[in-house]
Amino acid sequence: MTAAAPLAATPVTEPGRRAFVLAIAAQKGGVGKTTTSVSLASAWARFHGLRVLLVDLDPQGHVDLAVRQQITEPGGALSSVLADRGATPIGEIAASTTVENLWVTRADAGLLTIEERLAGRIGRETVLRRAMERSREHFDVIVLDCPPNLGLLTINALVAADRVLVPAEPSPLGLAGVHGLFDAVNDVRDQLNDQIEVLGVVLTRMDGRNTRTNGAVLESVQRTMGDMLLPVHVHVDAALAQAQLAGEDVFAHRPTSRAAEQYQELAEIILSRR
């Protein structure tokens, strides 16, 4: 995590676009939100030539850890942008990376207390949307990696996004939180962002060894989620943890791994559904 620094990035400008904004959110912790955010953002920049901004909205700063070897400048503090009522375009604090077309806004220490600082303010749910508005024309996709709760940062992401992708583990408990998120999306649609829709649920950490349990869980998920369940699942693959340890995305670290292949497929499916 970076210290709350003043703006220290080269502003990213290439007007004329209108970014598709995808929030990656789940109430539950450890279901693969960050891994999915980093892998999809990287896949779109690498294989589709899209200009991608990956925003770390989680005070844990895991995006930063996951791609720390690929970040080439410090960037600015997201918490300052949010505290400033979203007056600064978020693209102005983005850090460039060694991946062409991929920029990252990193979590900073100020994010830990930003929810408290915004709590009493009018417009607290819309600060991210305001900060993003002018930056949308400089990117093709903006990916928002959310913290594992339905607090103010996640609500800001749902207000700012066009679509939500929900990663879930293929277990009965893993799916328990999905409906809470769907309810939050419905509330946000009723009150703050009538565009927002769930793009789908992606099963992460499928365990290839436990085919019987997986089969039963998959059947039950298909029954309850229907079309919401995306047709690509991400299997357990040590390549993902190894890539995170190395501080780079899976396509840089283990390009021939199953996870790299599955995230590439997922990236294509999402583009076709957006």
Ligand X SMILES: Nc1ncnc2c1ncn2[C@@H]1O[C@H](COP(=O)(O)OP(=O)(O)OP(=O)(O)O)[C@@H](O)[C@H]1O
At 120, the amino acid letter reads G
User: Are the C-beta atoms of 95 and 103 separated by less than 8 Å?
Assistant: yes
Residue 240 CB, shortest distance to ligand X, in Å, is: 4
Residue 184 CB, shortest distance to ligand X, in Å, is: 16
* Residues at the interface with ligand X (CB under 6 A): 29-35, 58, 60, 62, 148, 204-205, 234, 236-237, 240-241, 244, 259
Q: Which is nearer to ligand X, 2 or 35 (CB)?
A: 35
Question: Which helix or strand (DSSP H or E) is residue 191 part of?
Answer: helix 178-191
Q: Which is nearer to Mg ion, 62 or 129 (CB)?
A: 62
- Tell me which of Mg ion, ligand X, none is bound by residue 234, counting a contact when its beta carbon lies within the kind-specific cut-off of 5 to 8 angstroms: ligand X
CB neighbours of residue 83 within 10 Å: 18
Q: What whole-number distance in Å separates Cα of residue 129 and Cα of residue 115?
A: 16
Which two tokens mark 260?
A: 């790299």
| Listed ranges 19-27, 32-40, 155-163, 261-269: which one lies at the site for Mg ion (CB under 5 A) | 32-40
Q: What whole-number distance in Å separates Cα of residue 150 and Cα of residue 181?
A: 8
Give 22's strand partners.
143, 163
Residue 233 CB, shortest distance to ligand X, in Å, is: 9
| Listed ranges 57-65, 109-117, 187-195, 206-214: which one lies at the site for Mg ion (CB under 5 A) | 57-65
- Tell me which of Mg ion, ligand X, none is bound by residue 76, counting a contact when its beta carbon lies within the kind-specific cut-off of 5 to 8 angstroms: none
> Which member of 62, 106, 138, 253 binds Mg ion (CB under 5 A)?
62
106 binds Mg ion (CB under 5 A): no
Instruction: Using the structure block, give the residue that is written with the tokens 């077309």.
Output: 101
CA atoms within 13 A on the CB side of 62: 20
33 binds Mg ion (CB under 5 A): yes
User: Are the C-beta atoms of 232 and 262 separated by less than 8 Å?
Assistant: yes
User: Which residue ranges make up the site for Mg ion (CB under 5 A)?
Assistant: 33-34, 62
